[in-house]
Structure formats: structure tokens, C-alpha cells
Amino acid sequence: MLKVGIVGCGKIADSHAWAIQSIKGCEIVGACDAEALMARQFSERFQVRQFFTDVGEMLREARPDVVHVLTPPQSHYSIARQCMEGGCHVYVEKPFTIVTEEAEELLGLATQKNLKVTVGHDAQFSHATRDLRRLVQEGYLGGPPVHMESYYGYEFGSIYGNAIVRDKQHWVRRLPGKLLQNVISHGIARIAEFLCDQKPLVIAHGFVSPSLKSVGEEEIVDELRVIIADQRGTTAYFTFSSQMRPTINQFRIFGCQNGIFLDETQQAVIKLRGHRYKSYAEQFIPHANFSRQYIGNFFRNVSRFVAKDFHMEGGKKCLIDSFYCAVISKTPEPIPHNQILLTSWIMGEIFKQISRKGASCEADSVRGGEISTRTHAFASIDRLQK
Amino acid sequence: MALQDPIISPEDKVLVTGASGFIGTRVVGKFLEHGFRRVRCFSRTSSDLRKLDSIKRDYGDTAEIEIFRGNLLSREDCRRAAEGVPVIYHLAAGTGEKSFPDAFLNSVVTTRNLLDASLEHACLKRFVSVSSFAVYTNRNKPDGRLLDESCPMEEHAALRGDAYCYAKVKQDEIVMEYGKKQGVRYVILRPGTVYGPGKRAITGRVGIDTFGIFLHLGGSNKIPLTYVENCADAIVLAGLKKGIDGEIFNVVDDDLVSSRRFLRLYKRNGGSFRSIFLPHIVSYLSCYLWEKYTLRSNGQLPPAFNRSRWHAEWKDTTYSNEKLKKLVGWRPKVSTSEGLARFFKSYEEGGKNA
């Protein structure tokens, strides 16, 4: 029986508890939160025998094998370190750490102590993303990825989004990357999975949307465009937007022969055929082909639903299950360390650039500086490839 | 209604949390109407204070209305806010939408912070906790269809799938626990469906629009309405009346209308939309099947519909306000017909009264 401890009994802890209790052979043996009432309500609702307000006490009393660190990101590093020093494998919610140096330290400590560690990039383990990964591994792209596009939409209409805008003391505002740091991990991790460098070129442009400005918001960057390029020649665009409609969560990956389109929200994967049909056939046959694929996605989703394998947090369950398998069988973790580091490093670069450019970047775009920024970007990629 | 021999004098200062909210502003207004002069209004830093400012203007120098900006999750803010106040009207609550931890944090932890702060100052004469009808199970009642204060609370509140219900049950429990163990003198009020200008949504007791079309589930059920000013009156009186410590009161008006009539009036005044009536047997069966499927599929469908919710919201029930009338001396000043007229008038005026 794998014994699991939970640190941080806020909103995200519920979905972890559901996932853990859905996996055979594991048990939540302790819940910990600095606020005793929060720890108590969690333990009552999920029938956890013991609850604590101190991590050290939980490690000593409940003796978990694995600890899920689900606190606000500012405390991920210290709590994960404490748990690893106590001999526990660690699952850290995204974002992994505040800065890359902390991520490096944690991963180094895990290697040194022969412990497993992973990060909550659970969108990487949804049905659709696993289908996409399988296609890539089977060589559908025809070689290494040439280009990727990752879109991550966000709506401030949610109670969480509203809370951030209303509450000037919200913990998200105290993150170096503020809102972006808490939400873009999924979109960046999709790209990081298919890059080969540990330090690719990153060019970021971020700004506060006019919509947020109209309610007096000046510090939350809610529009972000990023260009990423590695030495192999793989490039990527990342788009984060709170204003674009529809609110999409999509990914496109193109190889030298074919491409693949993933819609995370709709759980759809579409193959993009690289070769054209002759003459007028190109105007008719692809439509039938796309229709067939969308119908295929429909039936695949229905069959998964009927088989009771289509839960909202299914990706999280799959990631946790895979992580526990790695712990038990001492096999590699579901997310390699270099991907965790790369995601962290790219995010760090983005936050550095948008905080450095700040208002001047925005002024540039108003004056038409956007063009010069892009010219600079492509020149940089060109230099890198040479 | 005249209040005789209140537990505080007109010069004592009271604290109202959630003071800038839908009910809170009316509570502040009613408190001043009763001749009391000093009120500390606890409000979030992001709250809209226009209504409170309007009350301040109305009373000018004759009343001291102190705006206290803070966060009830901060023990220090609570400590400062509770200083020197003999009565706390605790209205602030977190709905948390579907998140149990959020609802719990913003209802229970905040309440505990206030209770601890009041114990520190040792000057509290009454803690008025505003709860909700949502806490009642509406099953195994001693008086059949009648729902009154003797109806048991939801024992397994988390299983109803309603974060608000869970948080309010736990809030009531912690208030009662502090009453028992720490000697805090409290009164709990459980309003039914509070309505009035400024609140546009149709209560779930009438029906739901989860599936793209409005499903009318209430039918001929009476809706436990209480007009916002009547409700505010009850809250104010419950904080001032002698000899009611440790009591729980339901707040519901007289002459309640049926769900069907409410929906008809809503459509006529608030804009027409399509609705389908589901007879009780159909809604009960649907809730039963949903509940079973949720369990069998390990939560593939959220536990939004189940028999507990059906009993609480869509079962044919009658309501009583006798205890409130008898012990507190409350009477609904605004009749239901007048309240509904004012409510729908605010629609015609495009929410100007909101």
C-alpha cells in the first residue's frame, strides 16, 4: 500500500484526493494545512485519518511514501525540499517552483536521494494529448517537429479570475510572473516536450489588455505572445489571451511530412495530411477526411464516457497513476526532469522579458514598434541557426 | 415595530460584516432606523461602497458610520474590527461556487476568526450569524411537510454536492460550538430565499437552466421568500432583543407564492423565455438516476443532482415564521405582493434600484 500525504487543502486538493482514491493500492494517510480548519474539513470529507498543521509533524506521524505539495507556488520549493529530505517522493503542483534555480536544486536533490519527483502538468496526460503523443512517437510527423503553436485561453469571468482582479493582495499578484506564472505552465509544457535545447531562444511580448485596463488594472499581464526556437531548428509560438474568443486550449505540431492538431477542450485530435490532392480534389476530399476524423473523435469520446473513463480530471488521475507506478517499480517518472526544467526556464525567461520591457514594450506596440520587434525576433532566430 | 429594552444602548457601536452587500446595506439602514447611531461596516477592499456612502449622506452627522476595509481571513483585521463592539452581525459569506474548500474558507474560517477576535476583546453581548435554509435536510422532520427550526440539519452535507450548503452547515456548527465551549452568546438566523431590487437570478427552488433550457421543478410548491427589507429587519432585531441567546430562527415572509406563480410573474416582468415543467416524480427519478450514475462512474458526472438536493429544494414543503414572530416580535413590513411588485419594478427600470 502506497501511503500518500497532502500538503495544502485548498481547491486543488479536492481533485487530487479524488484521483488518489480512484487508484488502487494507495491511501491518503495525512492531510496538512497551515489552517487547522482547512485540514480538518479535507480529512472529514475524504475520510483521512489524521490531519496536521505542520509538515514535519505529518512526515513523522503519518510517514507517507509520497507527498503532494498543493500550496501556493511561493512555498513549493521549501515544502518539497523538506519532504524529500524526509525521504518522500514528491508531486508538486504547477508551477513547479518560482525560479529555475530552485527547480534545479529540487531535481538534483531527488537524483541524489534516489527519489521520484513530478510536476502537475496533468493536461499532458489527457486522452487527447496521449493520442497526439502516440502519433508523434509512431513517426507521423515524418521527422523532428518543425514548428508548434500552443494557444492557451483564459476567462476572467470565473470566480477565481474575478478574485484576482478584485483582491489587490491576492497571492497570485505576489508571484514574479503574477497571473501568467500560475496558468501558462500547461501551454508551455506542451512545447517543451518537443524541444531539444535546455536553453532555447525566447522572445516574449506581454501587455495588460484594454479590457483589464478599463477596470483600473495596471499590473496583471493577461495578453502574451512568445516565440521560441531551439538549435535544431524547431520553432514555436505560444499565445496566452484573456480576450480572444472562443477561449481555446489548442496545440498544433508540424513535421516535415504531416501535422497534428489537438483541441484540449474538445478532446479532439486531427491529423493534418502533408500532401495535397491533385487539382480540384484538394477542394473536396480534405473536407470529407476532416469530417470522418471529427466523427471518429466523437465516437471515441462517447465510448470513453460509456466506459466511465472520461472524467474531467482524467489527465490528473493518469499522471498520478503513472507517477506512483514509477515510484513502485523504480522506473523513470512520467515527466522527465529536463522537461520540468525547460518549462521552468522558458517561463522564467518570459517573466524576465515582460517585466524588463514593461511599459516601454507597450508604448512600442502603440507606435508600431511591433514590426521592429518581430524583425528583431526573426533575425535572432536566423543568427541562432547559423 | 418598536423595540423595547434592547441589549445595547443607542450609543453602542455594532459591527456588520458583508455590510456593502445585498442584505448588508439594508441591515445598516434598518439598524439606524431603529434609532441606533454607531455602526462599523466591514467591507472588502474591492467592494462597491456607493450604497453605504448614500446611507452616510442620508444620516449626515446624526450617525457614525465607519467603513472598515479588510479581509475576514486576516485575524488581525478581525481583531481590530471587533474591538469595542457588543454586537456583531455576521453576514459575509462565500458562495465558493462549486468549490468546497473555497466556500468553507470564506464562511467557516472567517467566522472562527471573528469569534476568536470577539473573545479576545471580551465585550461581546451577541454574535448574530446569518445562515441559510440550505442547511436543512428537509427529511425525517417531526412535523411532516412543515419545515421549521426543529428540522434537522444535513448530516452529510458534503454528499449533497452543494458547497454552499456544506459551508453553512459547518458555519452553524462552529458558532454553536463556540457557544457551548466558550460561552459566546449567539443567535442564528436562517433566511429562505431573499429577494428584492438588486438581485436578478431566479432561485434554484423554482428551477434550473443547467441544460440550456429552463427546467421548472417547483410546480405548485411554495417558495420560502423573504423580501430583503423584511429579512434585514429580522436580522437587526435578532441582534438587539433580550432573552433569545442560543436560539435559531427561520426567516420567511407570510403569504408565500407558488413556484409556478413566481415563474409566470418573472416571465411577464423580467423577459420571456422557454421553460419545461418537470413533475415531481420525474425530477425525483432524474435526481435518483443522476446520483446513482455519479456513484457508479466514480464522479464522471458531478454530484450536482441527488435525492438530498431534491428534498431540500424541490419537495413540496410548508414553512413557518412563528418562532421569529413570537420570540423576536418580528412582522414582515412589506407584504409578498408588495415585495414582488417592487422586485419586478426594478426590472422594468433596468436595475436602477439595484
Calculate how close chain A gets to B165, using CA atoms only, in Å. 14
Radius of gyration in angstroms for the set of CA atoms belonging to chain A, rounded to a whole number:
22
Calculate how close chain B gets to A58, using CA atoms only, in Å. 20
- pLDDT tens digit sequence for A270-284: 999 999 999 999 999
pLDDT at B71: 92
- Taking CA–CA distances from A10, the nearest residue in chain B reads B101
Give yes or no for residue A371 having a pLDDT over 50: no
Task: Mark yes or no for CB contact A38/B105 under 8 Å.
Answer: yes
Using a CB–CB cutoff of 8 Å, tell me whether A311 touches chain B. yes
Element (H, E) at A103: helix A100-112
Interval B11-26 mean pLDDT: 95
Calculate how close chain A gets to B214, using CA atoms only, in Å. 22
- pLDDT tens digit sequence for A325-365: 999 999 999 999 999 999 999 999 999 999 876 645 444 44
Task: Mark yes or no for CB contact A167/B112 under 8 Å.
Answer: no
Confidence grade of residue A160 (pLDDT, cut at 50, 70, 90):
low
pLDDT at A357: 67
A169: chain B residues, CB-CB within 8 Å: 45, 71
Interval B230-258 mean pLDDT: 97
pLDDT at B271: 79
Q: Is the peptide bond before A246 cis (omega within 30 degrees of 0)?
A: yes
Helix, strand and coil content of chain A, in percent to the nearest 5, comes to 50, 20, 35
Q: Which residue of B105, B116, B154 to mutate against A (max A Cβ within 10 Å)?
A: B105
Work out the number of other CB atoms within 10 angstroms of the CB of residue A372. Answer: 11
Confidence grade of residue B207 (pLDDT, cut at 50, 70, 90):
very high
> ipTM value of the model?
0.92
Give yes or no for residue B321 having a pLDDT over 90: yes
Q: Of B353 and B338, which is predicted with more confidence? A: B338
Average pLDDT, chain A: 91
Q: Which residue of B45, B295, B298, B301 to mutate against A (max A Cβ within 10 Å)?
A: B298
Interval A104-130 mean pLDDT: 98
Interval A105-116 mean pLDDT: 98
pLDDT at B101: 95
Cell representation of residue A127? 486522452
Least confident of A319-323, B2-6, B48-52, B323-327: B2-6
Give yes or no for residue A266 having a pLDDT over 60: yes
Nearest to B303 by CA among B312, B313, B294, B293: B294
Q: Which of B99, B108, B300 sits opposite A308 (nearest CB)?
A: B300
Cell representation of residue A286? 480534405
Confidence grade of residue B49 (pLDDT, cut at 50, 70, 90):
confident
Chain A, residues 107-166, CB within 8 A of chain B, namely 159, 166
Cβ atoms of B188 and B244 within 8 Å: the answer is: no
Q: Going by DSSP bridges, is the β-strand pair A268-272/A259-263 parallel, antiparallel, or unpaired?
A: antiparallel
Q: Which residue of B69, B97, B99 to mutate against A (max A Cβ within 10 Å)?
A: B99
pLDDT at A383: 47
Give yes or no for residue B72 having a pLDDT over 70: yes
Q: Which residue of B69, B100, B104, B165 to mutate against A (max A Cβ within 10 Å)?
A: B104
C-alpha angle A19-A22-A23 in degrees, rounded to nearest 5: 95
Average pLDDT, chain B: 92
- pLDDT tens digit sequence for B182-200: 999 999 999 999 999 988 7
* Distance separating alpha carbons of residues B173 and B107, to the nearest angstrom: 12
Give yes or no for residue A110 having a pLDDT over 50: yes
How many contacts (CB atoms, under 8 Å) link A and B? 57
Calculate how close chain B gets to A92, using CA atoms only, in Å. 19
Task: Mark yes or no for CB contact A10/B96 under 8 Å.
Answer: no
Interval A50-57 mean pLDDT: 98
Cβ atoms of B48 and B72 within 8 Å: the answer is: no
